[in-house]
A and B are shown apart, each in its own frame.
Chain A
Amino acid sequence: MPLKVGIPRALFFYYYYPLWKRFFENLGAQIVVSPPTNKSIIDAGIKCAVDEACLPVKVYYGHVTALKNKVDLMFLPRLVSLERKTYICPKFMGLPDMIRSNVKDLPTVIDTTFDLSKNSSSIYRPAREVGHFLESRDRIIDQAWDDAEEFQKEFEDRLYKGHLPCDVLDSLEKGKELPVTCNMKRMCVAVVGHAYNLYDTHISMDLIRHLKNMGVKVITPDIIPTAVSDAYANRLPKRMFWTMGKRLLGSVLHYIDEGKVDGILYVEAFGCGPDSMIEDLSARYVRRDRKIPFQVLTLDEHSGTAGVMTRLEAFVDMISWRGVS
């Protein structure tokens, strides 16, 4: 019987699922992913999470709860830094501790720290630490990691060809064909926000689908190669030291420079610390030349969609009124 490794369908799942899946499977484990966010997952998350956490973190708690009795190992890595001198949100750094103190009866937790902020740090060290839960030989683990990184790269290449992560992940999980990317000339809106908010249809109130139903082509920062968004972020007067923030702000600067999108919709979770800065900076840069309509959408535990729909409709109306259909 292979060991079952649980991966919560939340937060970094939307960025690194292919990497983790391939790595664990290479080491002979069986992957168990929690179901897409639903009401009971949210309710369970809100019940056990600390009050001040943002909605996506609360949702993460819910996914851990949904998985804990079904797996032998729970993968809750501590993501501190994924690149030199650049960091992930502090709530991610404390995630394994927060989960441990609030969720009872957890299986064995893989809470390896990933901190690549220092020059000398190597990814193989934390990768081996994770691997040792399943395999003792470092050589095998390193190979499993290299292969998984290849697989992750393939995933990212597909994104850079214009496929949204939700579609690529879906095709990966269910073996479905990727939908054809649409190049038709129609209204194009850039939806800017963290992947774990945008592609969790429960958190985002399915706003990507709603926009598509209104005849809008949706693009997101995830389909911009990191090198491009990094280059734009480097134009900032001060170095941006949040990985996610750098990505979002760099993308916004790219959209402004390119002038191809008809509108930018910034989606943030209520109470997000980094976004309180990034959203405001984005708004200031966009409004400097006033060419692209910009709108902020704040998400929280609301279950009524009326508020989101009103804003989406008004935003799309505004763009069409300006002469884009």
Chain B
Amino acid sequence: MAFADLGIDVGSVSTNIVLIDKNNELLDKIYIRTKGQPIQALQQGLVEIYQRNRDVEIRSVGTTGSARYLAGVIAGSDAVKNEITAHAVAALEEVPGTQTVIEIGGQDSKIIILRDNTVADFAMNTVCAAGTGSFLDQQAARLNLPIEEFGALALKAKNPVRIAGRCSVFAESDMIHKQQMGHNLADIVAGLCEALVRNYLSNVGKGKEILAPVVFQGGVAANKGMREALSKALNTDIVVPKYFDVMGAIGAALLARDAVKQRGTRTNFRGFSFCSTEFNVKSFECTSCANRCEVVELKTLAAVLARWGDRCGKWSEMPVDGLCKQAQKQTQQTG
């Protein structure tokens, strides 16, 4: 039986799961759309991973992404880490000596500046998510263009048009104007890529010293048009790692392995049998004070697993049902 570390990245747009072996070789990976249902996406992904890797024993589990706490509770995570750390760890592993990581995901974009193999600085988009993957998705859909073909079409452009990239609402109206003027689709699509890169560099990358090697990862790195536009704007080669779309998950797996090693205990993983458990999420407004927090309660048929969302800790610190721990033990034994 082979041992492996499981990395889970549940983001706003995609849910990615990886299995890596002790030499950090990727054994398997899954990239599926979250579709607004993180629990179902996670379960579906884990079932697929299990079916393809029945002989693997999970040694540790790490979760990252905006649903990292939710995923952590459901899977029984050993390390719940933010996306910056996870992406930085993975980039350093895949491309030794990396000095800059550019990550553009579904709803956020980040830049990580690495020096001497440690994070020296980072930034994420602030209150605005303009120019991230979901905007590209949306525009591709509006142009009736499968997102997979978007990048290839951009590369065919001869004269990319200038599009306002400051705000996705302005960008969209600008694109429509250019269309109505008669510019061809390839030029508009390439123009959009350039606009997004311009916006990224002046917003997220503002004031950062971007040195090579520059690693481009995250779902948007699949887009050849975006790679080209970045390379042109930075006047340097862009390295896209082999598993660019699941780098967060790889980082989570690496971090989880370290966490388990450091702790010196067994993994908290609930086992794959938990994939068939029905999880229910209920949310309610707490009426104890004027804050009216929206509390989320995660439960199985048998027990409440966790609560969160309150400011004061009344719900999140309340002990969850004893049944839950029992159920957890059982699944650990059987799973």
Residues of A at the B interface (CB closer than 8 Å) are: 35, 38-41, 201-202, 206, 270, 283-284, 287, 290, 293-296, 298, 300, 302-303, 306-307, 309-311, 313-314, 317-318, 321-322
Cβ of A270 and Cβ of B126 under 8 Å apart? yes
B123: A residues at CB distance < 8 A: 295-296
Cβ of B121 and Cβ of A40 under 8 Å apart? no
Cβ of A270 and Cβ of B66 under 8 Å apart? no
The proximity string for B residues 68-104 relative to A, scoring 1 for CB distances below 8 Å and 0 otherwise, is 0000000000000111110000000000000000000
Cβ of A314 and Cβ of B82 under 8 Å apart? yes
Q: Which residue of A lies closest to B293 (CB)?
A: A39
Cβ of A298 and Cβ of B127 under 8 Å apart? yes
Cβ of A321 and Cβ of B119 under 8 Å apart? yes
Which listed residue, B81, B82, B121, B126, touches A294 by the CB 8 Å rule? Answer: B121
A202: B residues at CB distance < 8 A: 291, 311
B83: A residues at CB distance < 8 A: 310, 314
Cβ of A40 and Cβ of B119 under 8 Å apart? no
A287: B residues at CB distance < 8 A: 121, 207
B289 an interface residue at 8 Å Cβ cutoff? yes
Which residues of B in the span 115-146 have a Cβ within 8 Å of any Cβ on A? 118-124, 126-127
Cβ of A35 and Cβ of B290 under 8 Å apart? yes
Known: A284-B207, A306-B66. A313 touches B292 (CB 8 A): no
A300 to B128, CA, bound (A): 11
17 interchain pairs (CB within 8 A)? A35-B290, A201-B311, A202-B311, A206-B311, A270-B126, A287-B121, A294-B121, A295-B122, A296-B123, A310-B66, A311-B82, A313-B82, A314-B85, A317-B81, A318-B84, A318-B85, A322-B118
A283: B residues at CB distance < 8 A: 207
Cβ of A317 and Cβ of B119 under 8 Å apart? yes
A298 to B207, CA, bound (A): 17
Number of interface residues of B (CB under 8 A): 22
A322: B residues at CB distance < 8 A: 118-119
Q: Which residue of A lies closest to B85 (CB)?
A: A317
Q: Which residue of B lies closest to A322 (CB)?
A: B118
Cβ of A314 and Cβ of B84 under 8 Å apart? yes
Which listed residue, B84, B127, B292, touches A317 by the CB 8 Å rule? Answer: B84
Which listed residue, B122, B124, B127, B290, touches A318 by the CB 8 Å rule? Answer: B122
Min Cβ gap A74→B in Å is: 20
Known: A293-B121, A313-B82, A314-B82. A39 touches B291 (CB 8 A): yes
A263 to B118, CA, bound (A): 15
Known: A38-B291, A283-B207. A314 touches B122 (CB 8 A): yes
A270 to B118, CA, bound (A): 30
Min Cβ gap B219→A in Å is: 18
Cβ of B124 and Cβ of A311 under 8 Å apart? yes
Among A206, A283, A314, A317: residue with most chain B CB under 10 A: A314
Min Cβ gap B328→A in Å is: 25
Known: A35-B290, A38-B289. A318 touches B66 (CB 8 A): no
A290 to B115, CA, bound (A): 11
Which listed residue, B124, B126, B292, touches A39 by the CB 8 Å rule? Answer: B292
A295 to B110, CA, bound (A): 13
Known: A283-B207, A317-B82. A302 touches B127 (CB 8 A): yes
A284 to B121, CA, bound (A): 13
Can you list the 4 inter-chain pairs with the closest CB atoms, starting with the nearest? A314-B84, A38-B290, A313-B82, A318-B119
A290: B residues at CB distance < 8 A: 120
A313 to B123, CA, bound (A): 13
Which listed residue, A39, A270, A309, A310, touches B127 by the CB 8 Å rule? Answer: A270
Min Cβ gap B156→A in Å is: 37
A306 to B107, CA, bound (A): 13
Cβ of A300 and Cβ of B119 under 8 Å apart? no
A9 to B124, CA, bound (A): 32
Min Cβ gap A222→B in Å is: 23
A201: B residues at CB distance < 8 A: 311
A311: B residues at CB distance < 8 A: 82, 124
A284: B residues at CB distance < 8 A: 207
Excluding A287-B207, A306-B66, A318-B122, 16 further A-B contacts by CB distance (< 8 Å) are A38-B290, A39-B291, A41-B290, A270-B126, A293-B120, A293-B121, A294-B121, A296-B123, A303-B294, A309-B82, A310-B84, A311-B124, A314-B82, A317-B81, A318-B85, A318-B118
